[in-house]
Every structure is written in structure tokens, then in C-alpha cells.
A and B are shown apart, each in its own frame.
Chain A
Amino acid sequence: MKKTKGKFVIFAHSGTYDKLHQIATIALTAAAMGSEVYIVLFFWALKKFYSGQLDRSDFPVEYQSWSHKITQLMKEKNVPPISEMLREARGMGARVIVCSAGLEYMDIDDKTPKDNLIDDVWGLPQVLTIAEGADTVLYI
């Protein structure tokens, strides 16, 4: 496949606030810089998107002691919520894709997308086809 200039794919695996924040800011920045951006949701990221609690400030166990302080500082510094940044990224053309198998095995009762942030449901063959021509592929 011909390499596409500026294609940016994020394999989003993690569901804690810190990782999802990284996913949202990187996707938003890449979209603002003109890249064709795809965020593909697997495992815990997928589950969090369907939980309706995307903006909940939950940190990994090893960083729990920092959770309150960092959440407070982010509020003070007016850091936008994850959902808002993703909405803005999608407004610039970024697409949020759900792994079709993950939807089945991640114990998601209500498969109705929350917060209107999902663009499509794909299987791995389509995901890998898109990633094959990408300039940047991140696994977060």
C-alpha cells in the first residue's frame, strides 16, 4: 500500500485517566497539524468509552497517591475534559473506531455509544489495513 503522508493511528488499550488524556491530547494535536487521525479502541479504553465515565479522574494503582493533587491542578489550569478534546479532534476529522470483537468480550451490556464519540466499528483486518499506510502508529 502506498504510504500516506500524515496518517496517524493510535491503538488505544488503556482505560485510566492519564493514558486516555494522552490519547486525547495527541490525537487532537495531530489533527490540528493536518494529520489523518484514527483512534482504535481495544480492551480498557473501549470499556471506558462505553461506561459513560470517560472524564472520571481515575489513575493507575501505583499513582493513586498523586490522583487528588493532579486532578486539582488540572482543574485550576483549565485543562479540558477528555471528552471535550476528543470532540474537538473529531471536529477536525479524527475518527474513533471500535474493535468489533472487543465489543463482545469486554462485558459491555449497553452497546449504545456514549457521549456520541464513536465513528465506526471495525475488525482487525480493516484496522491493520489503515495502520499499514500510517506515518505514526502509537500503542497507548
Chain B
Amino acid sequence: MAGTVKVDQILDCKGLLCPLPVIRTKQTIDKMTVGQVLEMISTDPGSVADMQAWSRRTGHELLEHRTENGLFQFYIRKAK
């Protein structure tokens, strides 16, 4: 994904517990412009379900998520 979509900002949420990855994502994406893509990296295993719920609720587009070596990576496009 990072190879095909330009990532505008990276947010490192490693070590943060729920609900902080979602909170920091919201705070960061609020400061970005519509259409920009945020990459968020988390170690919280709940963040996969949490980010899906948050993006459904807020309308921001969760382009992809992947899991690798205990790291969860999310690519979110700001929608509004």
C-alpha cells in the first residue's frame, strides 16, 4: 500500500493502549487536509477492530490494514 499510495503523514502509536491509538489518529487526521493519507502504526491488538469501527463511524476511508511481527499498520484517507 505504501508503495502505491502516497503517505502524507506517519503516526507512531506503538506502546499506546486502547483507546489512545484511535484518539491520536483522530487528533492527527483533524489537522490534515481532505484526501491526504495517514499511516498509523500500533501494537494494540484491539486496534484492528477499533480502526474499522472508527472509520465506519467517522467516514474516513480505511484503505488497508496489515499485521506484521506484532505491528498493526493502517492507511487512512481523510474524507471530510
Listed residue (A32, A77, A79, A88) with the most chain B CB atoms within 10 angstroms of its CB:
A32
Chain B residues contacting A88 (CB-CB under 8 Å) are 23, 27
Q: Enumerate A70-124 residues with CB–CB distance to B below 8 Å.
A: 77-80, 88, 92
Name the CB-closest residue of A to B23: A32
Name the CB-closest residue of B to A29: B19
A77 CA to B18 CA, complexed, in Å: 11
User: Are A34 and B20 in touch, CB under 8 angstroms?
Assistant: no
User: Are B58 and A34 in touch, CB under 8 angstroms?
Assistant: yes
**CB of B23, distance to nearest CB on chain A (Å):** 5
Chain A residues contacting B53 (CB-CB under 8 Å) are 33
Q: Enumerate A29-80 residues with CB–CB distance to B below 8 Å.
A: 29, 32-34, 77-80
Which of A32, A34, A77, A78 makes the CB contact (< 8 A) with B19?
A: A32
Q: Enumerate B15-58 residues with CB–CB distance to A below 8 Å.
A: 15-17, 19-20, 22-23, 26-27, 53-54, 57-58
A-B contact count (CB 8 A): 28
Interface size on A, residues (CB 8 A): 12
Q: Is the interface of A mostly helix, strand, loop or mixed?
A: loop
User: Are B16 and A32 in touch, CB under 8 angstroms?
Assistant: no
A88 CA to B27 CA, complexed, in Å: 9
Listed residue (B15, B20, B27, B54) with the most chain A CB atoms within 10 angstroms of its CB:
B20
Chain A residues contacting B26 (CB-CB under 8 Å) are 32, 92
**CB of B44, distance to nearest CB on chain A (Å):** 11
User: Are A79 and B17 in touch, CB under 8 angstroms?
Assistant: yes
Chain A residues contacting B20 (CB-CB under 8 Å) are 80
Q: Residue A28 at the B interface, CB < 8 A?
A: yes
Q: Residue A25 at the B interface, CB < 8 A?
A: yes
User: Are A78 and B15 in touch, CB under 8 angstroms?
Assistant: yes
With A33-B57, A78-B17 given, can you name 13 additional A-B contacts, CB distance below 8 Å?
A25-B19, A28-B19, A29-B22, A32-B19, A32-B23, A32-B54, A33-B53, A33-B54, A33-B58, A34-B58, A78-B15, A78-B16, A80-B20
